[in-house]
Chains A and B, each alone.
Chain A
Amino acid sequence: MTTWLLRRTIQMLAVIWGVMTLAFILAFIVPGDPARMVAGTNASAQAVANIRHELGLDQSLVSQYFHFVVRLFHGNLGVSFALQNQTVGSVIMRALPFTMALAIGGILWELLLGIPFGIIAAYRPKSAFDRIATFSALFGLSTPPFWLGLMLLYFLAFKLSVFPLNGVGHPLIWYLILPSFTLGVGGAAFYSRIVRTTVINVLRSPFIEFAQLKGMPASLILKRHVIRHALMPIVTMIGMDLGYFLGGVLIVESIFGIPGIGQLAFRSISTLDVPIITGTVLIASVFMVLMNFFVDVLYTFIDPRVKLQRNT
């Protein structure tokens, strides 16, 4: 177990290093001149050169990379090019809570819709409910999130005025219901399919039959055995989804006007704000790596069977 944990940790660090390097390369080969972007179109060549020097962009690739890595080890993501005198860390920290809240909301929708639908469908396979659940799941998986978001905005916010139109306000949760639903629908559909398959298999297994034969009430079987098994594959996916949401919520954020990480990343790409691009991409992917690691470790605790197989 300890060797496994050690190996897994080293692997994780290697991947984080790879992510870091790839993020750096991406930022380095961005076309256009960030120094010109910062200086403005009317600045003199001298002013642009000064800014380039100030930003360290005149140094060689290797020395820039070296500085980049050293800075990261000190937890310093650099200073934004476009937003003057603001550190990347502070800009990201301002956006992160919105994205975090949105991501958690999305996960809640996934669980709230996915698990009950999956379980009910599995208990009555081929019933009308199962067919409707199957079809709506496929529908949920096939609907482009930006289209769904626009539709919800149009009908529930614009036409019926049930929900606020866009932006954020007080209380935040009220502004996040539609965006998080948009975010969670696809995952909910996916979860319900997974839960359905798992539960159908569990219901066929001998220990359920045994529990039934010894007279255990169905509700207790559901609570003690079925739900626990149904949650197993979900645990892996929640971790990955959380990582994914923290970086992939760009579309939802831009439709609903939420000032989160995704919007920040997108805007910084159009203004060539390289430190912010690197910072946001890095934060999102490191989150993903950490989540995967966490889930892997957690998994060996929940399911003792995987311990031996996970040595690869």
Chain B
Amino acid sequence: MSNAKHYLAAEADIDISSVSLSFSARAWSSIKKDKIAFLSVMIVIFLMLVAIFAPWFAPKDPLFQYPEGLSKIGAPQGPGSHFFLGTDQNGRDVLSRLIFGARVSLTVGVVATALASLIGVVIGTVSGYLGGWIESILMRLTDVVLSFPLLLFCIALIAVTGPSTKNVVLVIAFAYWTYLARIIRSQVLSLKEREFVIAARSLGLTTPQIIRRHIIPHLIPTIIVYSTLGVATSILIEASLSFLGIGVPLPQPSWGEMISEGQKYFQSAPWLLVAPGVTMIIAVLAFNLMGDWLTDLFDASTKVAQR
């Protein structure tokens, strides 16, 4: 009996290690073949580094109003050798503001998504696994939050809580968790009918144990994919809020705020709009492409695992 157990455990070990090995190997080989995926992952890593080490990357002070940053009549300077991407209406360096803006946008995007994922996974798993009236209440609650138009809901919440970086993060998380909760719930519904969960239950494992050891690990691909896409969405929401003037408070530079300010001077200084806009598109595009690539990757790995 104990021999059989050991044998099973050993087999399981080999199985797990070979799967994980082949997974990272597959990730590596797929990223070598897929140039776009490679590029998107590189961009995401680069943006993260820029955000973390913003003071090292930024050539100038993002908040300082350089006297030489304005022309004689007080107009912003175009891109040139001194100010690489030009200056804004206050003579501040656009490139440095973009770099520090990355810090704000990515922090908000990542933290808000992490928080939303946490709430979504807990509510989705609990309601999917327990079912019954708990599920009914949680899912109707999800429906209620989901019924509010996302941006309008965020704005109303900001109006209540007041604009600050912390509130922007909380508000986005509070409005966004519903999407993941729905998806996770439907996955848990099918997972809990699978043989290994039934086996775990008949072996006498408690519900928290089953959820932790047998349900959550299967949800990780979904969580990773939707979190990656969620970062892209959160960056867009944060920019929209900042664009409307109720996002991250001034004078902190954020991409949305730069576009919002830039639109006033756009006719004479188009770089004020082009620079933050293009940066945002590249960032969001990179996160979306990385999400796509991860979806394909996990899709392939679940297929292999099932076989």
Residue positions of A touching B, CB distance < 8 A: 11, 14-15, 18-19, 22, 26, 29-31, 138-139, 141-147, 150-151, 154, 158, 243-244, 246-248, 250-251, 254, 262, 265-266, 269, 277, 280-281, 284-286, 288-289, 292
A147 touches B148 (CB 8 A): no
Given A15-B140, A18-B140, A142-B284, is A150 in contact with B149 using a C-beta cutoff of 8 Å?
A: no
A247 to B151, CA, bound (A): 8
B54, chain A: closest CB distance, angstroms = 21
Decide yes or no whether B79 CB sits under 8 A from chain A.
no
Tell me, in angstroms, the Cα distance from A158 to B42 when the chains sit together. Answer: 37
Q: Which residues of A contact B267 (CB under 8 A)?
A: 154, 158
Determine whether the beta carbon of B285 is less than 8 Å from that of A265: no
Known: A154-B273, A247-B152, A251-B244. 7 other contacts (CB 8 A): A15-B147, A138-B288, A141-B288, A144-B256, A146-B259, A154-B267, A281-B153
Contact A147 B152 (CB under 8 A): no
Q: Do A248 and B147 contact each other (CB < 8 Å), given the known contacts A14-B140, A138-B288, A146-B243?
A: no
Would you mind naming 29 contact pairs between A and B with Cβ atoms under 8 Å apart?
A18-B143, A22-B148, A26-B156, A30-B159, A31-B162, A139-B281, A139-B285, A142-B232, A142-B285, A142-B288, A143-B281, A143-B284, A144-B236, A144-B284, A146-B256, A150-B266, A150-B273, A154-B266, A244-B150, A246-B149, A248-B152, A265-B156, A266-B155, A269-B156, A269-B159, A281-B152, A281-B156, A288-B148, A288-B149
Residue of A nearest to B156 (CB): A26
- Whether A289 lies near B147 (C-beta < 8 A) is yes
Q: Would A31 and B160 count as touching, CB distance under 8 A? A: yes
Please judge, given known A-B contacts A150-B259, A154-B266, A265-B155, whether A142 and B281 are in contact too, CB under 8 Å: yes
Encode B116-156 as 1/0 by CB contact (under 8 A) with A: 00000000000000000000000011011101111111011
B residues at A contact (CB < 8 Å): 140-141, 143-145, 147-153, 155-157, 159-160, 162, 232, 236, 239-240, 243-244, 256, 259, 263, 266-267, 270, 273, 277, 280-281, 284-285, 288-289, 292
Compute how far the CA of A246 lies from the CA of B150 in the bound complex, rounded to whole angstroms. 11
A251 close to B273 (CB less than 8 A): no
Q: Do B149 and A285 touch across chains, with their CB atoms under 8 A apart?
A: yes
Closest-CB distance, B220 to chain A (whole angstroms): 24
Q: Given the complex, which residues of A lie within 8 Å of B236, measured CB to CB?
A: 144
Which residue of chain A has the shortest Cβ distance to B280 in the bound complex?
A144
A150 vs B159: C-alpha distance when bound (angstroms): 25
Q: How far is the CA of A141 from the CA of B244 in the complex (A)?
A: 20
How many angstroms between the C-alpha atoms of A299 and B150 in the bound complex?
Answer: 24
A14–B3 CA distance with the chains assembled, in angstroms: 56
Roughly how many angstroms separate A169 CA and B240 CA in the complex, as a whole number? 27
How far, in Å, is A177 (CB) from chain B's closest CB? 20
* A139–B141 CA distance with the chains assembled, in angstroms: 34
Across-interface contacts of B160 in A (CB, < 8 A): 26, 29-31
Q: Is the CB–CB distance between B140 and A11 below 8 Å? A: yes
Hey, which chain B residues are within 8 Å of A265, CB to CB? 152, 155-156
Chain B residues whose CB sits within 8 angstroms of the CB of A30 once the complex forms: 159-160
Cβ-defined partner of A22 (8 Å) among B144, B152, B280 = B144
Contacts of B256 in A (CB 8 A): 144, 146
Contacts of B243 in A (CB 8 A): 144, 146, 251
- If A154-B270, A254-B244, A284-B149 touch, whether A269 touches B144 (CB-CB below 8 Å) is no
A18, A19, A251, A277: the one within 8 Å of B240 (CB): A251
B292 partner residues in chain A, CB cutoff 8 A: 138
How many whole Å from B164's CB to the nearest CB in chain A?
A: 13
CB distance from B142 to the nearest CB of A (A): 10
Q: Return B90 CB to nearest CB of chain A, in Å.
A: 20
Q: Chain A residues near B263: list those with CB within 8 A.
A: 150
Complex Cα gap A269–B244 (Å)? 12
Distance (whole angstroms) from the CB of A149 to the closest CB of chain B: 10
- How many angstroms between the C-alpha atoms of A286 and B152 in the bound complex? 13
Given contacts A247-B149, A265-B155, A284-B152, contact A144 B141 (CB under 8 A): no
- In the assembled complex, the Cα of A151 lies from the Cα of B151 at a distance in Å of 21
Compute how far the CA of A164 lies from the CA of B57 in the bound complex, rounded to whole angstroms.
42
Q: Across the interface, do A19 and B280 meet the contact criterion of CB distance under 8 Å?
A: no
B244 touching A19, Cβ below 8 Å: no
Residue numbers in B under 8 Å from A246 (CB-CB): 149
Contact B285 A288 (CB under 8 A): no
Q: Which residue of B lies closest to A277 (CB)?
A: B156
* Contact across chains for A251 and B259 when beta carbons are under 8 A apart: no
Which 10 pairs of residues, A with B, have the shortest CB-CB distance? Answer: A247-B149, A18-B144, A142-B284, A142-B285, A147-B277, A285-B147, A248-B149, A269-B159, A15-B143, A247-B152
